[in-house]
Amino acid sequence: MGMGFYNSISALFLSSFFMHTFIPHSCLPCFALPGNETDRLALLEIKASITHDPFKVLTSWNETIHFCSWHGVTCGRRHKRVTSLSLPSLKLAGSISPHVGNLSFLRVIDLQENSLGHEIPPEFSRLHRLQVLQLNNNSLSGEIPTNLSCCCQLLRLAVGFNVLMGKIPNELGLLSKLRVFSIHFNHFTGGVPTSFSNLSYLEKFSASFNNLSGTVPDIFGRMTNLSFLAFDVNSFSGMLPPSIFNLSSLTVLAMAFNEIQGSLPSNFGIPSLHIFSISDNQFSGSIPVSLSNASNLIEFSMGVNQLHGKVPPLTNLHKLKRLVLAENHLGSGGIDDLTFLCDLSNATHLEILQIFTNNFGGTLPQCIGNLSSSLQKFNIAQNKILGSIPNEIANLANLEVLLMSWNQLSGHVPPGVGKLHKLYQLSFGGNSLSGNLPSSFRNLSQLNVLSLAGNKLQGNIPPSLAECQNLRFLHLGANNFSGIISQEIFGLLNLYVLSLEQNHFIGPLPENIGILINLEYLDISDNMLFGEIPASLVSCVKLEYLDMHGNFFNGTIPSTLSSLRGLTKLSLSHNNLSGTIPEFLENFVFLESLNLSYNNFEGMLPIKGVFKNATATSVEGNSKLCGGIPEFHLPKCKFQHAKKEGLSLTMKLVLSLVCGILGVIFALTFLYLYCSRRDKKGQAASDSDKFPQVSYQSLLKATNGFSSTNLVGMGSFGSVYKGLLEQGETTVAIKVLNLVRRGAYKSFIAECKAFKNIRHRNLIKVLSACSGFDYRGHDFKALIYEFMVNGSLEEWLYPIHTIGERNERPTSLTISQRLNIVIDVAMALDYLHHHCETPIVHCDLKPSNILLNEDMVAHVGDFGLVRFLPKAAENSSGNQSSSLGIKGTIGYAPPEYGMGHEVWTQGDVYSFGILLLEIFTGKRPTDDMFQGTSNLYSFVKVALPEQVEEVLDPVLVQESNHPNEGRASNRVLIIESLISVLEIGVACSAELPRERLNIYDAVAHMCRIRNKLQANGICE
């Protein structure tokens, strides 16, 4: 071998050495097919990795046209190589193929706003020409590949709204041309790498909603092009570098929800600033006077800090829309603390003004009437403000929230408040206001919350307040109200909370309180009410808190209250109640506090349930009670035994009575057998006669001859038409039975029987029936229901293009609406299963049988397959068989029906669970994606709780990403609540019946979820 061979070997070794030493391996180009064929094959691999394409955009990616004409693909003019891959907002699911690294001419990748999962392929590092990488709003996980630093042309990196984790790679600091760095809404930890000091061209740094920590580095102050700096909702601490405020181009500075401390520098009033948000930190000191230099400010948020002193002049902040100074130590309690409010008269676009929980004193200046007519939220609660409320507040015509509670305000409630027609939350509680409530309150038709508790208001509650039909929270406790509680107040059908405690009300509690079927909190304690506890309280099945102590109620505890199984607190102490303590209280599994003390109860004290806890139960002051657990220290109960002679006489009487009853039963049996021979038509007439009859002619006229234009739906046994009865004044839904269909006649009988004695707000109401003949002499049977203007739940979950009056409604349901609907349906089932004389099983629960009225209240309909159960079979878990076959609809019918199990209430619970999962995932149980052993139940169960966003309806995920007020805590609460709701659906739809949740427990759990959301202003 000659020297040439050794020289060749040496050259090869050296080239290999330098290549592996100085060039990162991941940055080496891959060996691929030359030219256009490489790009075409790479695109086909990318298409293959997409598992869900709802808009079918990738159908254009086929061999019939050149790949440069495929949807979302852009090629260069000269070489016909792919330069841009743009497929945003298409709901694509699957993963990003590593073959994307073969598109070596790519400059732009835009896959944002989809549902792509798995990791970011490290093959992106091969794309040396890449300038824009936008992957935000997907479900990507893992870490940002460190070798992205090989993309030396990268100008924009956006991977926000994913579940990426790990530390920010230090290597990204090598992207010296980077202008946009966006990683918000992920799970990154650690600090900002020091290498980022090389990013001299950086214009936007967005790292909000992560777990970043450490101090805010001084490097940002040296980025002279930086205009957007956001790292709110992290764990940064330490001091804020003053150099940041030397950036003359800075427009957005958001650092809320961290642990940053220290005082604000005197030069912080940058003229270019539009948004300045430092709420929820540990800033101290005063607000610098230089604030007035920030003349372009739109949002100024400094709430929840430790700032003190006076608020400097705000006269130059003409563009201000949002001012939040709440929860600090601002003000001194002096008379001039609120002078800055008059400065805000120049802010003609002001929408939000929140200065609550500070030390502001003085009186409210009349100039508040000169504030912007755009003002929507005005909150000055928990300060030291004196004097009366200026009537000029009536000028703020667009005000929606007015909170002045817990100050030292006095005088009357100004009547001008009644002119604020858009108010939905009004709170003057905890002051010294006096006089009567203004009658003008009747004009507040949008009012949702009214809190006047803790004042010196007097007189009656004006009956006109009942005109505020949107009221849900009414707090009038701790005042001097007197007189009889008017029945009109209990006409506020949407009330959740009614608080009237510590007043001077007299008389009985109105019987129509049962109308308040949404009521969850009722406090009428410490008044002078008397009479018996209304049995109608049974209708308030959502009650969780009931306090009636300190009155003069007498009589016994009504047995009907046994339906209030969701109670967590019950206080009846200091009344004149008597009789025995009912045993049904033992079964209240959620009851945490029970106070029955200082009444006249007698007999044995129960020992189960809440009565096992002497700290949670109080029965003192009832001298005739006995028994109970030892901790109550009650005497033992004594029982008297009858003498033998008396027993013998009793036995004789019993035998005589039994013989008489048997004779009566024999006679009734004979009569029943005789009557049961009537033909089916006689039965139908008997059942339909329970409803007001209408003629075939009137229905023909009402539906314009059963015109197809009046057809609104078709079911298993007939068609539903929209009609106008009573000279066109009443709109109804008319279900005409197709008696040719097998089972239609039986369906008509079943519906008549079901609706004969049941009434519930969440059940469709039958108004009338028709049983006769049409013009051809054929049997004709129809049922007339109340008309539901918002159609069926099916139409909302799977909207189609329609014409007519429904085409303007929203195309999707909000989280709040969906939660309200499933609660409504569960309430209806609970009523059918547990509150009817005979338990009723619906047997066909599905979206098309859930109808929605104008207020989006859900009503369960179509009782054509209904079954009536004997009490003993209501929850029987025996392996009963039946020859009836599957009852219901495939996908919703429980698996045990397919194995011959008899119809039972647990079957409805299964159907409800599937319905709930469908409502919140947007997927039918019969979807093509469910094959083999896969089903909707397993699809959701395996995703809980960590991957819940992968199974939720994308509409709900988007809504949760933009919670009220934009607070991270709200988003977390929404996701946690959605997890809990889906867990209820999974618990109800378990394949083994013994593992299913009870429907009334499901109601209680979901109501608690809704209450928690409402308390945070999320759920309506």
Is 736 found in the same domain as 670?
no
Range of 162-166, 435-439, 491-495, 701-705 with top mean pLDDT:
435-439
Q: Which domain holds residue 748?
A: 678-787
Domain contains 452 = no
What string of DSSP letters covers 296-331?
T-SEEE--SSEEEEPPPP-TT-TT--EEE--SSEE-
Residue-level length of the chain: 1020
**Per-residue confidence (pLDDT) for residue 361, from 0 to 100:** 95
Specify the DSSP element, H or E, that contains 818.
Answer: helix 815-834
CATH number, domain containing residue 854: 1.10.510.10
Q: Given 224, 251, 278, which residue is the final one in a domain?
A: 224
> Which of left, alpha, beta for 965 (phi over 0: left; psi -120 to 50: alpha)?
left
Whether 590 and 1004 have beta carbons less than 8 Å apart is answered as yes
Query: What 3-state DSSP class applies to 978?
Result: helix
Is 685 found in the same domain as 662?
no
Residue 532 β-bridge partners: 554
Q: Please identify every residue annotated as catalytic.
A: 844
Residue 517 clears pLDDT 90, i.e. is over it: no
DSSP at 291: G
Residue 887 clears pLDDT 90, i.e. is over it: no
Higher pLDDT, 545 or 682: 545
* Averaged pLDDT, 920-947: 88
Lowest mean per-residue pLDDT among 53-57, 271-275, 279-283, 559-563: 559-563
Is 938 found in the same domain as 840?
yes
- Cβ density class 269-279: b for 16+ within 10 Å, e for less: bbeebbbbbbb
* Averaged pLDDT, 509-513: 88
Whether 567 and 590 have beta carbons less than 8 Å apart is answered as yes
Residue 571 β-bridge partners: 547, 595
pLDDT tens digit string along 129-140? 999 999 998 888
CB under 8 Å to 740, separation ≥6 — which residues? none
Q: Given 746, 762, 787, which residue is the final one in a domain?
A: 787
Domain contains 148 = yes
Higher pLDDT, 866 or 995: 995
What is the residue type of 279?
Answer: S
**Per-residue confidence (pLDDT) for residue 20, from 0 to 100:** 35
pLDDT tens digit string along 295-353? 999 999 999 999 999 999 999 999 999 999 999 999 999 999 999 999 999 999 999 99
Query: What 3-state DSSP class applies to 688?
Result: helix
Residue with tokens 């970043």: 212
Is 761 found in the same domain as 871?
no
- Binned at pLDDT 50, 70 and 90, residue 867 comes out as confident
* Averaged pLDDT, 483-510: 89
Is 813 found in the same domain as 695?
no
Residue 171 clears pLDDT 90, i.e. is over it: no
Supply the angle between the helices 999-1015 and 815-834 in degrees, to the nearest 10: 150
Domain contains 909 = yes
Query: What 3-state DSSP class applies to 753?
Result: helix
Range of 729-733, 883-887, 981-985 with top mean pLDDT:
981-985
Report percent pLDDT > 70 for the chain: 86
Is 746 found in the same domain as 704?
yes
Cα 757 to Cα 690, 760, 782, 837, 845: the distances in Å are 9, 10, 19, 9, 20
CATH number, domain containing residue 724: 3.30.200.20
Q: Which two tokens stand for residue 723?
A: 């009609």
Range of 363-372, 484-493, 701-710, 762-771 with top mean pLDDT:
363-372
* Averaged pLDDT, 387-396: 94
- Binned at pLDDT 50, 70 and 90, residue 662 comes out as low
Domain contains 92 = yes
Specify the DSSP element, H or E, that contains 972.
Answer: helix 968-988
Percent helix, percent strand, percent coil in the chain, to nearest 5: 30, 20, 45
- Cβ density class 332-359: b for 16+ within 10 Å, e for less: beeeebbebbbbbbbbeebbbbbbbbbb
Q: What phi and psi, each to the nearest 5 degrees, are found at residue 1009?
A: -60, -45
Is 778 found in the same domain as 816?
no
**Per-residue confidence (pLDDT) for residue 606, from 0 to 100:** 93
**Per-residue confidence (pLDDT) for residue 187, from 0 to 100:** 87
What is the model's pTM?
0.61
Is 127 found in the same domain as 53?
yes
Residue 209 clears pLDDT 90, i.e. is over it: no
Whether 617 and 611 have beta carbons less than 8 Å apart is answered as yes
Dihedral sign computed on CA atoms, order 376, 380, 382, 385 = negative
Parallel/antiparallel/unpaired status of strands 867-868 and 840-841 = antiparallel
Nearest to 988 by CA among 978, 1003, 998: 998
Q: Given 197, 224, 251, which residue is the final one in a domain?
A: 224
945: cis peptide before it, omega within 30°?
Answer: yes
Domain contains 84 = yes
Q: What angle do CA 996, 1001, 1003 make, to 5 degrees?
A: 115
pLDDT tens digit string along 55-64? 899 999 998 8
* Averaged pLDDT, 70-96: 92
Is 727 found in the same domain as 809?
no
Specify the DSSP element, H or E, that contains 166.
Answer: strand 163-167
> Which of left, alpha, beta for 108 (phi over 0: left; psi -120 to 50: alpha)?
beta
Let me know if 61 is exposed, middle or buried by CB neighbors in 10 A (0-12, 13-18, 19+): buried
pLDDT tens digit string along 573-609? 999 999 999 999 988 988 999 999 999 999 999 999 9
CB under 8 Å to 855, separation ≥6 — which residues? none
- Binned at pLDDT 50, 70 and 90, residue 809 comes out as very low
Report percent pLDDT > 90 for the chain: 47
- Cβ density class 30-49: b for 16+ within 10 Å, e for less: eebeeebebbbebbbebbeb
Domain contains 653 = yes
Residue 959 clears pLDDT 90, i.e. is over it: no
CATH number, domain containing residue 49: 3.80.10.10
Specify the DSSP element, H or E, that contains 507.
Answer: strand 504-507
Domain contains 870 = yes
Specify the DSSP element, H or E, that contains 1002.
Answer: helix 999-1015
DSSP at 792: B
Residue 40 clears pLDDT 90, i.e. is over it: yes
Domain contains 18 = no
Tally Cβ neighbours within 10 Å of residue 462. Answer: 18
* Averaged pLDDT, 652-676: 52
DSSP at 127: -
* Averaged pLDDT, 697-724: 79
pLDDT tens digit string along 690-699? 445 677 778 8
Residue 899 clears pLDDT 80, i.e. is over it: no
Number of domains forming the structure of the chain: 4
Tally Cβ neighbours within 10 Å of residue 849. Answer: 25
For 742, how many CA atoms within 13 A lie in the half-sphere containing its CB? 0
Is 814 found in the same domain as 774?
no
Cα 560 to Cα 10, 537, 584, 589, 862: the distances in Å are 98, 8, 10, 17, 29
Nearest to 974 by CA among 951, 999, 950, 949: 949
Tally Cβ neighbours within 10 Å of residue 812. Answer: 16
Compute CA 583 distance to the chain's CA centroid, rounded to the nearest angstrom: 36
**Per-residue confidence (pLDDT) for residue 14, from 0 to 100:** 33
Nearest to 275 by CA among 240, 250, 300, 293: 300
Parallel/antiparallel/unpaired status of strands 306-309 and 282-285 = parallel
**Per-residue confidence (pLDDT) for residue 883, from 0 to 100:** 32
Tally Cβ neighbours within 10 Å of residue 102. Answer: 23
**Per-residue confidence (pLDDT) for residue 426, from 0 to 100:** 95
Residue 238 clears pLDDT 50, i.e. is over it: yes
Dihedral sign computed on CA atoms, order 277, 357, 435, 424 = positive
**Per-residue confidence (pLDDT) for residue 840, from 0 to 100:** 86
Q: Annotate 623-675 with three-state secondary structure.
A: CEEEECCHHHCCCCCCCCCCCHHHHHHHHHHHHHHHHHHHHHHHHHHHHHHHH
Give dist(CA 554, CA 599) in Å, integer.
Answer: 9
Q: Which two tokens stand for residue 504?
A: 């001077």
Is 208 found in the same domain as 81?
yes
Let me know if 376 is exposed, middle or buried by CB neighbors in 10 A (0-12, 13-18, 19+): middle
What is the residue type of 186?
Answer: N
Is 72 found in the same domain as 177?
yes
* Averaged pLDDT, 95-116: 93
**Per-residue confidence (pLDDT) for residue 359, from 0 to 100:** 96
Query: What 3-state DSSP class applies to 553?
Result: strand
